[in-house]
Amino acid sequence: MNLKVIAFDADDTLWVNEPYFRQTEEQFYTLLGGYSSQHELERELLKTEIENLTLYGYGIKGFVLSMIETALRISNNTISTEVVGAILDLGKQMLNQPIELLDGVEEVLGALKSKYRLVVATKGDLLDQERKLKKSNLSHYFHHIEVMSEKDDANYLKLIRHLDIKPDKLMMIGNSLKSDILPVLNVGGYGVHIPYHITWAHEQIEHTIEHEKFNSVLAIKDILEFL
């Protein structure tokens, strides 16, 4: 492959992320349980989150605003200020969560750092992603940190131009086929999928990927053997 740059997704590739959203959602459903069923709340919250992506982008802050909006709509604007305060507290708890690295991350980064330029390519709230990276103590492994508003073809091409490489010199590693793999394959790079046991519904795709530059491994440690 003659790669020059290996880019890593952050959330649920380097460290735990989605389980915290799921735990918070369960607490949200309990708070609003008197207004609607959990199934209805799940559907309405996801709908609100997706509708708000163009306004708030990805991340905890947008998630909190979407929970408040959903609560107002479900309750016909009758929820108490105490419930709003409780939702805000849930968001602050998420922002203050410790960083839990996934198994094998430091071993892999340490082994690859001297052979390739390593990059973090993630999306979400800039302040939050910078905070998580700092708390992870992984910054010294990376040549560049890219926080995108959306992981699409245009933003990956922008990253490739910034790195001054050809697309086929880049490999992207991540847990989302939709955000981490497909756009990179589209622009001519390599993609390696590492499945995570929980994936946000918005990041799921229903079709399989068959591409000469695509591979999937079970865990991040398998990257070393693959390369």
Angle, vertex CA 66, rays to CA 62 and CA 69, nearest 5:
140
Within 8 A by CB and 6+ apart from 13, the residues are: 102, 173, 174, 175, 180, 194, 196, 220
User: Do the beta carbons of residue 223 and residue 104 sit within 8 Å?
Assistant: no
Residue located via tokens 């959203």: 21
Q: Which CATH architecture has domain 18-95?
A: Orthogonal Bundle (1.10)
Please tell me the predicted confidence (pLDDT) of residue 202.
62
3-class DSSP assignment, residue 123: strand
Instruction: Please name which of 153, 110, 105, 120 lies closest in space to residue 9, comparing C-alpha atoms.
Output: 120
Alpha helices in 75-146 (DSSP H): 81-95, 105-112, 126-136
Same fold, 5-15+100-226 and 18-95: no
Q: Which CATH architecture has domain 5-15+100-226?
A: 3-Layer(aba) Sandwich (3.40)
Query: Which stretches in the chain have pLDDT values below 50?
Result: none
Angstrom distance (rounded) from CA 200 to CA 167: 28
Q: How is residue 146 written in tokens?
A: 């890219």
Number of Cβ within a 10 Å radius of residue 225: 7
Please tell me the predicted confidence (pLDDT) of residue 55.
92
- Domain definitions of the chain by residue range: 5-15+100-226, 18-95
Please tell me the predicted confidence (pLDDT) of residue 209.
82
The per-residue pLDDT for range 95-151, each reduced to its tens digit, is 999 999 999 999 999 999 999 999 999 998 889 999 999 999 999 999 999 999 899
Angstrom distance (rounded) from CA 115 to CA 111: 8
Angle, vertex CA 25, rays to CA 20 and CA 27, nearest 5:
100
